[in-house]
């Protein structure tokens, strides 16, 4: 069970890192030059980021509020959606209202779609 979870988290990490770096090339250059193993803090943060995205995807507003950190908006879920576009596609009005207050509202998903179609 633990190895499966680790494998899923590593896959998520690779996907998130690739997606994030595509929108922030400086971060990609820094990471490539460092070429180091993740710290315990970074591993914990990635796990919490995954939990945040799962909370948004499942419509659990309280869990999303609890796990919220501003840099999580630059991450994509397994469907290529950032938190705000996932909430919009799920028609979750309460989650959208919460995320609108905090999110980067002009951040495109993996397909280049903007949350409000602009």
Residue 104: alpha-carbon gap to chain centroid: 12
* Domain ranges (residues) in the chain: 2-102
Residues 75-86: tens digit of each pLDDT? 888 888 889 889
Please state, in angstroms and rounded to a whole number, the distance separating the CA atoms of residues 82 and 55: 12
Q: Taking the model in full, what pTM does it have? A: 0.60
Comparing 93 with 45, the larger pLDDT belongs to 93
pLDDT of residue 97: 93
Give the list of residues 6+ apart from residue 21 with CB closer than 8 angstroms, or none.
Answer: 27, 28, 31
Is the per-residue pLDDT at 111 higher than 60? Answer: yes
pLDDT of residue 62: 96
2-102 fold? 1.25.40
């Amino acid at each position: 069970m633990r190895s499966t979870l680790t494998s899923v988290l590593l896959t998520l990490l690779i996907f998130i890192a690739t997606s994030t770096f595509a929108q922030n090339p400086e971060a990609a250059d820094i990471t490539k030059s460092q070429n180091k193993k993740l710290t315990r803090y970074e591993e914990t943060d990635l796990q919490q980021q995954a939990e945040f995205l799962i909370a948004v995807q499942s419509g659990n507003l309280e869990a999303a509020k609890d796990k919220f950190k501003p840099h999580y908006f630059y991450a994509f879920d397994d469907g290529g959606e950032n938190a705000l576009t996932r909430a919009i596609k799920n028609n979750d009005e309460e989650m959208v209202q919460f995320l609108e207050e905090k999110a980067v509202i002009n951040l495109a998903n993996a397909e280049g779609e903007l949350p409000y179609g602009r």
